[in-house]
Amino acid sequence: MPRTLREVVFVDGVRTPFGKAGSMYAETRADDLVINCIRELLRRHPELPADRVDEVAIAATTQIGDQGLTIGRTAALLAGLPRSVPGYAIDRMCAGAMTAVTSVSSGIAFGAYDVAIAGGVEHMGHHPMGEGIDPNPRIVAEKLVDPSALIMGSTAENLHDRFPEITKGRADAFAVLSQQRAAQAYADGVIQPMLVPVAARSVEHGWGLATADEPPRPGTTLEGLAALKTPFRPHGRVTAGNAAGLNDGATACLVAAEDVAAELGLPTAMRLVSYGFAGVDPEVMGVGPVPATEKALRSAGLDIGDIGAYEINEAFAVQVLAFLDHFKIAEDDPRVNPYGGAIAFGHPLASSGVRLMTQLARTFRDHPEIRYGITTMCVGLGMGGTVIWENPNHTDAEAAR
């Protein structure tokens, strides 16, 4: 029988402070990070009965150890959700949390769920990228991909090769801007409400409370970045300063059918418009957001001129610059990552998609003149993901409904 699709809304999102890999969370379990996020969402929204949560989808890139055992289900149980609430795990590398959101959103639109929790976690201190994997040797031996496709920093160097106009100087300048914007966002009190404090244990120092991101370097300068080594290639262009670091952290968000959110009294921070995932040459995975965005725009019947806000994951500065150059957007455009990005905050792989969404929701709240925004990111092994959102605070958006 024919079905009517339902509107899907982003209710709220939170995250832990992000740490440097194996630093402030060295003795904290990965699953405890995401459990804190789920509990915080429930604490912030007492209007949501716990038994109205229909699904918990949690992403992790390395699904072993304290990130294994179907983490969506185990985290739901440990967070105190009723045993009737199911859960599952997702892996799309860096776009894990983004895929968790689009997956449960599709279920909501179809009518399978009313309310769901989606998020991601990555403890790179416990589980370095690539731990425990066994790539089929044919993928390289049969030249399906270049060996550099398996090393993310090398793919960024390849992207510099493909677009020689994206110089190391431009990448460093963008990195400095990210650090400056992140510092300003902290000074303005923008980031703090997105964070859930985490009690972090240390055998040597006892218990502490993580309340702020550890990776930002607000004093970053062009001169300092110019002196950094290029670990992926002699005389290369990718450094620890113009790329996201290795990090630990978790995110989670609430998504719901719009009518159910209204029924329960849940706020609407954003409406889902469309999404798209696309594949590209694995050797230049950083260009993935371009076709993914084009796909999402086509699906929505929009063009890039309709987009008033961008949250682009800064895995590498060159990847963001390739996107901006393609769409003829200035690299210092105030619509792009206005509160800073992963170069400053960090990129705990599978968790980052929801960080982008939470920051876009803040932009929507503060700027009702903006109607549409996107969250987009490159994905390892040659992919990109983009989600287009609508600002419910925009007058024209309401009039059109």
Of 322, 345, 347, 320, nearest to 335 (Cα)?
320
The two tokens of residue 211 are 């309340």
The two tokens of residue 235 are 């005389």
Cβ contacts of residue 221 below 8 Å, gap of 6+?
176
Tell me how far apart the alpha carbons of residues 261 and 329 are, in angstroms, rounded to a whole number: 35
Contact 60, 29 (CB under 8 A): no
Instruction: From the candidates 94, 126, 127, 253, give the one annotated as an active-site residue.
Output: 94
- φ, ψ of residue 392 in degrees (nearest 5): -70, -15
* Buried b / exposed e along 295-320 (16+ C-beta atoms within 10 A): bbbeebebeeeebbbbbbbbbbbbbb
Tell me how far apart the alpha carbons of residues 351 and 16 are, in angstroms, rounded to a whole number: 10
The two tokens of residue 8 are 């899907």
Tell me how far apart the alpha carbons of residues 241 and 228 are, in angstroms, rounded to a whole number: 7
Tell me how far apart the alpha carbons of residues 298 and 307 are, in angstroms, rounded to a whole number: 13
| H helix or E strand, kind and range, residue 12 | strand 8-15
Based on the residue annotation, tell me whether 378 is a catalytic residue of this protein: yes
Contact 99, 353 (CB under 8 A): yes
Contact 91, 349 (CB under 8 A): no
Side-chain-side CA neighbours of residue 341 (13 Å):
32
Of 164, 153, 94, 180, nearest to 321 (Cα)?
164
Based on the residue annotation, tell me whether 37 is a catalytic residue of this protein: no
Instruction: From the candidates 126, 160, 347, 394, give the one annotated as an active-site residue.
Output: 347
How far CA 241 is from CA of 24, 33, 45, 116, 212, in Å, comes to 20, 26, 38, 37, 20
Cβ contacts of residue 311 below 8 Å, gap of 6+?
337, 341, 356, 357, 359, 360, 363, 373, 374, 375, 376
CA 55 to chain centre: 20
Instruction: From the candidates 37, 126, 378, 394, give the one annotated as an active-site residue.
Output: 378
- Catalytic site residues? 94, 347, 378
